[in-house]
Chain A
Amino acid sequence: MSAVVAGASAPVATTTRRPRGGLFRAILRNRKAVVGAALLLLFILLAAFPGLFVPSAHHDPQAIGDLPLQHPSGSHWLGTTGLGQDVYAQLIYSTRESLVIAVVAGLGATILSVIIGVSAAYLGGFADDGLSMLTDIFLVLPTFPLIIVLATYAGKGNLTVIIIVLILTGWSYGARQMRAQALSLRNRDFLESARVRGERSSYIIVVEVLPTMISLIVANFLGAALYSVLTAAGLQFLGLGDPNSLSWGTMLYWAQNQGALVNGLPAWALSPGLAVALLGVSFALLNYAFDEISNPALRPVRRRRARSAS
């Protein structure tokens, strides 16, 4: 079964345990990580204190104004919607829901992949066969169509449903990676000694195995969050979200619905998409940086390798 994703980007197991603080310093030294982290920090600020970034006249982003379909101007930086709402205010206030979807769904999917992947590796035998089979099946099922089917049946617009569906469809890739790494750890000495000490399996998994997998887990969370951002925005864009909610996908839905592009208002149609893209980019940059940190072979090497290759 393993052939399905064998090595699609097989993680190289980090064999040494990193000293505390090493991960943090490694992030600071990686340019991609710094850019990604800065972007993410900005979005967290926007989500936490949207009022700080919006002129006080537009503190209610849903307020219906009397100037619909305005071009960007001094009073409406990105113009107005078909109902005269301020696009810029909507954009800033939408950060929160979009970020929450990404983080919650990303966390949920990661937790599920850790549980399934690690227990498959640790239990072995029949349980492993069953869990691996389940993982492989979810891996090849086309997720976005499945999400659309689920969201349609479950009633459109329910945020909880969207998040649960994102988790259910987003865990399989990570579970496969977790299983691979946990397998490579399984027969290490420090685990053997814990077993000899008579520790329970649950203790060994939580205290001994998981800490060594931290960088893979973080990378996984970032990947799952990226997937959730893009997928949720796509769902909402198609009108399968709550049309009254404040999120980038919903903004895009209304922009498309009210013909923003045809009416010559590209700022309205493009800015929420740009926000989705930037949040996605920040996750992707961090994810890639973590790959480099946990797999030294991928780090940019400037002089030595370049010479030997030519």
Chain B
Amino acid sequence: MRYLIRRLGFFVLTLWAAMTLNFFIPRMMPGSPEQALRERFSKGGSVVTPEQLRTVLAEFGFDPGKNLMLQYLEYLKSMVTGHWGVSIGSSLGAPVTSLIGSALPWTLGLVGIATVLAFVLGTLIGTVAGWRRGGLIDGIVPPVFIVTSALPYFWVALLLISLFAIGSNPILPNDFNYDQGLTPGFSGEFIWSVVKHGILPASTILVTAVGGWILTMRNNMVTTLAEDYVRMARAKGIPGRKIMFGYAGRNAFLPNLSGFAMSLGFVISGTILVEYVFNYPGLGYMFYNATVSTDYPLLQALFLLVTLAVLICVLLCDFAVFLLDPRARTKG
């Protein structure tokens, strides 16, 4: 139980650290949001009064006249309670929460499915490769997947586009989440369109993410297979398949679980690039747009959300390891 409480403490602490970074980074850096805002507004041709500017900035939590500590506390309170302010970017005035709400499902669907698929596939292939040490699969796996795991997301995306989406008769669409002529709904046509638009971005994530899982799982397997209990299982004449999955695989898999949670952070990093290349209107693309239009409130909220997502996954995986691994229970 102490183990779980410690993990919970870590969760809160890290979240606080992320929020604090979020608050202090813009205040430490050269250039002010006030400047950025004034430039933004004047670019649009409209003249902005100092009052208007101050109102918008106050929404964002910037008030030069106020004590920094007080601002910080207020900021923490509004972050926790979900008052994330309004966008000051391309969709000026829209509440950040509703913007995020509209993009979230697309990213969750696309990235969620692709990531889980990569993890499951990679773990399976890695298990078999590590088990049949020096066999055919093991001969191919390390060199090939060392290479694929070093490929840049966006390059794989560009490659797939030029192979499948460009040319005289493109097979798959290369941007947006569905045919813009369709009205969203539970029609076969619409669902098919969503699936078609998801194939290339999902493949990009799959291709670049699967290699890491295969390699770590293979290496964990190799280390686990040298353990005494595996030798004993062999001596007892337990069938190979059972040793592979039930004895070695099961134990080699546990460290990967926490790695899986952390990798979600990297996948979200990758999504920014993938969604940017494919103009896929998810959180990653929104993140990109927020940087282009220096939309500080949106940027802050997105960073907080991404951190929160990773932390929740880490916490869930800790619980899972706690349930699956008696050793973790006794240690804590």
A complexed with B: yes
Q: Does B13 contact A (CB under 8 A)?
A: yes
> Given that A3-B7, A270-B159, A301-B133 are known contacts, is A137 also in contact with B152, CB under 8 Å in the complex?
no
Q: CB-defined interface of B269-283 with A at 8 Å, one 1/0 digit per residue?
A: 110110011000000
Q: CB-defined interface of A263-305 with B at 8 Å, one 1/0 digit per residue?
A: 0101001100110110011011100100100000110111101
Residues from chain B with Cβ under 8 Å of A10 in the complex = 255
Q: Establish whether residues B13 and A145, one from each chain, have CB atoms under 8 Å apart when the complex forms.
A: no
Query: How many angstroms between the C-alpha atoms of A4 and B14 in the bound complex?
Result: 13
Query: How many angstroms between the C-alpha atoms of A194 and B124 in the bound complex?
Result: 48
Query: How many angstroms between the C-alpha atoms of A151 and B272 in the bound complex?
Result: 15
Query: How many angstroms between the C-alpha atoms of A190 and B175 in the bound complex?
Result: 62
Q: Establish whether residues B146 and A284, one from each chain, have CB atoms under 8 Å apart when the complex forms.
A: yes
Smallest beta-carbon distance A305→chain B, Å: 5
> Given that A142-B268, A262-B166, A306-B135 are known contacts, is A277 also in contact with B151, CB under 8 Å in the complex?
yes
Residues from chain B with Cβ under 8 Å of A239 in the complex = 292
Q: Establish whether residues B273 and A152, one from each chain, have CB atoms under 8 Å apart when the complex forms.
A: no
Q: Does A52 contact B (CB under 8 A)?
A: no
Q: Establish whether residues B159 and A5, one from each chain, have CB atoms under 8 Å apart when the complex forms.
A: no
Q: Establish whether residues B142 and A288, one from each chain, have CB atoms under 8 Å apart when the complex forms.
A: yes
In chain A, residues 115-153, which have Cβ atoms closer than 8 Å to a Cβ of chain B? Answer: 133, 136-137, 139-146, 148-153
Q: Establish whether residues A276 and B152, one from each chain, have CB atoms under 8 Å apart when the complex forms.
A: yes
Query: How many angstroms between the C-alpha atoms of A273 and B268 in the bound complex?
Result: 20
- Name the prevailing secondary structure of the A interface residues: helix
In chain A, residues 248-270, which have Cβ atoms closer than 8 Å to a Cβ of chain B? Answer: 252, 256, 261-262, 264, 266, 269-270
Select which of B18, B147, B272 is within 8 A of A144 by beta carbon.
Answer: B272
- Of the stretches A40-48, A55-63, A198-206, A229-237, the one at the interface is A229-237
Residues from chain A with Cβ under 8 Å of B104 in the complex = none
Counting contact residues on chain B (CB < 8 A from A), the size range is: 35 or more
> Given that A9-B216, A284-B146 are known contacts, is A145 also in contact with B306, CB under 8 Å in the complex?
yes
Smallest beta-carbon distance B112→chain A, Å: 16
Select which of A5, A144, A154, A297 is within 8 A of B266 by beta carbon.
Answer: A144
Residues from chain A with Cβ under 8 Å of B25 in the complex = 149-150, 153
> Given that A142-B306, A144-B268, A155-B31 are known contacts, is A137 also in contact with B13, CB under 8 Å in the complex?
yes
In chain B, residues 203-235, which have Cβ atoms closer than 8 Å to a Cβ of chain A? Answer: 215-216, 219-220, 222-223, 225-226
> Given that A140-B265, A302-B134 are known contacts, is A8 also in contact with B152, CB under 8 Å in the complex?
no
How many chain A residues touch B (CB < 8 A): the figure is 67
Query: How many angstroms between the C-alpha atoms of A233 and B307 in the bound complex?
Result: 23
Q: CB-defined interface of B135-170 with A at 8 Å, one 1/0 digit per residue?
A: 100100011001101111111001101100010000
Q: Establish whether residues B135 and A238, one from each chain, have CB atoms under 8 Å apart when the complex forms.
A: no
- Of the stretches B38-46, B77-85, B310-318, the one at the interface is B310-318
Most chain A CB atoms below 10 A, which of B25, B155, B166: B155
Q: Establish whether residues A145 and B303, one from each chain, have CB atoms under 8 Å apart when the complex forms.
A: yes
Select which of A152, A261, A269, A285 is within 8 A of B299 by beta carbon.
Answer: A152
Query: How many angstroms between the C-alpha atoms of A8 and B219 in the bound complex?
Result: 10
Q: Which residues on B are within 8 Å of A, measured CB to CB?
A: 3, 6-7, 10, 13-14, 17-18, 21-22, 25-26, 29-31, 131-135, 138, 142-143, 146-147, 149-155, 158-159, 161-162, 166, 215-216, 219-220, 222-223, 225-226, 255-256, 258-259, 262, 265-266, 268-270, 272-273, 276-277, 287-288, 291-292, 294, 299, 302-303, 306-307, 310-311, 314, 318, 321, 328
A-B pairs, top 8 by smallest CB distance, nearest first, are A144-B269, A273-B155, A280-B150, A7-B255, A284-B150, A306-B134, A142-B265, A153-B29
A-B contact pairs, 20 of them (CB 8 A): A1-B10, A3-B321, A10-B255, A12-B223, A137-B14, A140-B14, A140-B262, A233-B154, A234-B152, A234-B153, A234-B154, A234-B272, A240-B291, A264-B166, A273-B158, A297-B226, A298-B219, A302-B134, A305-B133, A309-B133
Q: Which residues on A are within 8 Å of B, measured CB to CB?
A: 1, 3-10, 12, 32, 133, 136-137, 139-146, 148-155, 226, 230, 233-234, 237-240, 252, 256, 261-262, 264, 266, 269-270, 273-274, 276-277, 280-281, 283-285, 288, 291, 297-298, 300-303, 305-306, 309-310
